[in-house]
Amino acid sequence: MKRLLIAAVATTALLLGGCAGDSEEPTTGSSSAAGAYPVTVGTVTLDARPEKIVSLSPTTTEILYAVGAGPQVTAVDDQSNYPADAPKTELSGFKPNAEAIAAKDPDLVLLTNDTDNIVAQLTQLKIPVFLAPAAAKLDDTYKEIREIGMLTGHQAEAEKVNAEMAAKIDGIVKSVPARSKPLSYFHELSPDLYTATSKTYIGSVFSLFGMTNVADSADPDGALGGYPQMSQEALIKANPDTVFLADSKCCQQSAATVKARSGWAAVTAVQKGQIYPLDDDIASRWGPRTVDLVQAVADAVSGIPA
């Protein structure tokens, strides 16, 4: 159930992505000097550096700490578990409560979705809100890191994070030998075969290695937001070369549990032992630890004979 909820939320995030991701390019309100205020990013203007930030998204929490804004974070949602010392609270990003958020007296709130018109509710309370929707590609992640860096007074640190991420990802991808025939893959979000297509952020990571997604035919027009559920029959018929498990923690899935599934013995990934558990959290977020996801896929692909 937890993985289904994550898949549903991810789909909603993609559908609402235009709330912030498609806003005008970020601009500073006074000067281009790092940390100068007022600062305007999209529709949000801050007159001074925020010192009481509330993050209601595990991804924005990770970004805040990566750019050096951790000391300014006073509360994070109940799903933010990285870094371990983030001030975790009972606040929910899935069902945000304006009164509970306001009780934290924030001078900036970061959200992924405008669930229940929470942005309007907080705006009415004169609380600045920045929406950082689910990324669809790496450039979206770099943009959000840059924007969050600008809002929090850490623009230079954000640019450094982006540069290091880009360099590491480029190096990882280049370290994997080219293949004459692309590998196919199935990225599992839950044991009942919810997955992500190549049109999602997850899919963009696999595309770096020229891999083909067997789930694309399950949502050809993107009507399901890139997160369809495949039938077991369709999955077995698609016969993926590799299976990546993003449900290893939430649902205790492993190479052994996949091999034990009825009818899966004929799948190439099972026959060749090409089943790879991933860290659920890293595989479901689009922040700085995307580098770790890219590395995990690279390690898997590199071990498969060309």
pLDDT, tens only, 191-249: 999 999 999 999 999 999 999 999 999 999 999 999 999 999 999 999 999 999 999 99
Where is the domain boundary, 118, 145, 168? Answer: 168
11 domain residue, yes or no: no
Which residues face 110 on adjacent strands?
Answer: 55, 130
Confidence of residue 34 (pLDDT cuts 50, 70, 90): low
Q: What are phi and psi of 99, to 5 degrees?
A: -65, -40
Question: Do 145 and 203 sit in the same domain of this protein?
Answer: no
Question: Do 218 and 136 sit in the same domain of this protein?
Answer: no
Q: What is the extent of the structural domain holding 61?
A: 30-168
Where is the domain boundary, 113, 148, 168? Answer: 168
62 domain residue, yes or no: yes
Give the total number of structural domains in the chain.
2
Query: Is residue 16's pLDDT more than 90?
Result: no
Spatial distance between the Cα atoms of 111 and 9, rounded to a whole number of angstroms: 12
In this prediction, residue 306 carries a pLDDT of: 82
Spatial distance between the Cα atoms of 105 and 116, rounded to a whole number of angstroms: 20
% of residues, the chain, pLDDT over 90: 87
In this prediction, residue 35 carries a pLDDT of: 64
Question: Do 183 and 67 sit in the same domain of this protein?
Answer: no
- Bond into 83 cis (ω within 30): yes
Question: Do 225 and 264 sit in the same domain of this protein?
Answer: yes
Is the overall model pTM greater than 0.85, yes or no? Answer: yes
Q: At what angle do helices 290-302 and 155-175 cross, to 10 degrees?
A: 10
Question: Do 203 and 145 sit in the same domain of this protein?
Answer: no
Where is the domain boundary, 168, 198, 223? Answer: 168
Average pLDDT over residues 78-103: 97
> What's the CATH number where 82 sits?
3.40.50.1980
Q: How many helices (H) and strands (E) does the chain have?
A: 12, 11
Question: Do 54 and 158 sit in the same domain of this protein?
Answer: yes
pLDDT in tens, 185-198: 999 999 999 999 99
In this prediction, residue 22 carries a pLDDT of: 34
Q: Token pair of 136, please? A: 């669809």
In this prediction, residue 2 carries a pLDDT of: 42
Question: Do 164 and 186 sit in the same domain of this protein?
Answer: no
